[in-house]
Amino acid sequence: MASTHSIPCPCGLSADYARCCGPLHAGTAFATTAEQLMRSRYSAYVRCDEPYLLATWHASTRPATLDLAAQQPAPTWLGLDVKRHEAAADHAVVEFVARLRYGDGKAQRMHEVSRFVREDGRWYYVDGDIGDR
């Protein structure tokens, strides 16, 4: 008998991870918009899915490793708020605020304006500017 219990998606868009970011993380689907890719990358950070993050990072700016497990204390991701998404045929900008906490510390906000490109029909994260706007 199949379980009727679903896990909420960390990106905040759906109550069911298996139907939201899950297929993207599993490689059975690809993001159709830069915003969808950004949300899936946020979920990947929540889930410490380094292979997905690296695979969706454009080769021109992708680091060799992220080493998420080495971050101590590890961040606890508290939520995501997408402020804007502007897209053309092959590039896009997504502005968002992610909330997080390190250890028992005070909650923090990470505000980023991210740039994306689409190559061969797939969206990739290029880079972003972090700061208050």
Domain boundaries defined on the chain: 17-61+72-130
**Alpha-carbon gap, residue 37 to 17, rounded angstroms:** 14
pLDDT tens digit string along 14-48?
Answer: 889 999 999 999 999 999 999 999 999 999 999 99
Task: Give the CATH architecture of domain 17-61+72-130.
Answer: Roll (3.10)
- Report the share of the chain in percent with pLDDT over 70: 95
3-state secondary structure of 83: strand
Distant-in-sequence, close-in-space partners of 1: CB < 8 Å, separation ≥ 6: none
Residue reference for tokens 């909650």: 107
Highest mean pLDDT among 5-9, 54-58, 67-71, 104-108: 54-58
